[in-house]
Structure 1
């Protein structure tokens, strides 16, 4: 199947956050778009060739993995989002494939100021300790390739059952931070930088365009503690940040050097 912009037209309805209200019912099969970032690949001529888009869904809220809704409840502690890379004909591996990619992957950087981190760092690649490679679209994390169903775990998602999606690669992220991990007097802040990777069988991998996003829970003090999360809007970038590159290059627990590994 050509995972180009055609599935986007078929499966996506373009909505805006200010159009959603607590009384509106959202069809389960619709992907609500919040932000679209262009994805390009540097060519030998030093020009940027468009190969697709990185689509960020309308975010939602949940309470530690339960009670997901597009409107934040008083007890919400985290957010959720779908992130899809959709290759166009220039990027589709069975199309023109101008970047000569055999597969597309996602690597995500996470930064947080929460306390009591166990076997984790304030800034790190967003994967479990057991992973030897940095890709988020891997076993145990919620993701999809090509035509796929959304994750079966619906407690932290705003849909009643799994529905179909179509994208070159997709991740489904539902981060949250409970009050116990906050520092008295400080806002809780968690940010992410999500980048598309062109994976090559014969050649070096290439980091492509990115989008940054996150959430913040303001410190309210007293019996309230921290407020419900506020989503940090998506910001697009044509390439990873310096912090992203440094963190990926210096990660000790993963064996991956996109600029050295020739498979």
Structure 2
């Protein structure tokens, strides 16, 4: 590869490279990396955020899929003792393999096309994660942080909030990237709960209840959850069966899921 030629963002990787120095500095301040910490950057691209993370003295592992970027990253940072490059797909990467006694701080300007599956992949490994700071499509961040009764509240936010405290930090306009995306972006901070505030007896059951509820979000719980729970069962958990799914908080969905899990064990109900 000709190192003098600029790398062109690849549409199939959903690449939009961050170049705005003010935004980069603001991201660094939000993350506040320190010497002695262990950071992991997903999709470092051409290293816009990488440089400041390394300057903190923190140990940094980066995971990059685009093989054309590997020599660029190695030329810039390969000589630094606190830098390691992992060539591969973050969706298949075992992040827990990097963690020792110290938890990981994960950072990434995530491609829009893989952001949701990647977050769920990371949540499965959240026991080894201290926090996560991601650049995402603004609408996705709004959905992650939304509370009940709002238009952005739904399955994604509920399932991520089950595992993490979510904080919408700040927005980033299209002009901060090259090429400029057609949508606004935002920075979100996800901090896995040390202890789940509303533990589900069966997290898979919670996922199922939330999915069924929001398949038809304009209908009532009585209708959307009919295949799983009847109106009396919903009411027994302190919820009005005529509520719409968007009016039910995380604690309410966990109560419904726990009831369904108990029901499946005792009377051969839905498994």
Larger strand percent: 1
Task: Report which structure shows greater RCO (CA 8 Å, sep ≥6).
Answer: 1
TM-score range, shorter chain: under 0.3
Larger fraction in helix:
2
- TM-score, normalising length from structure 1? 0.28
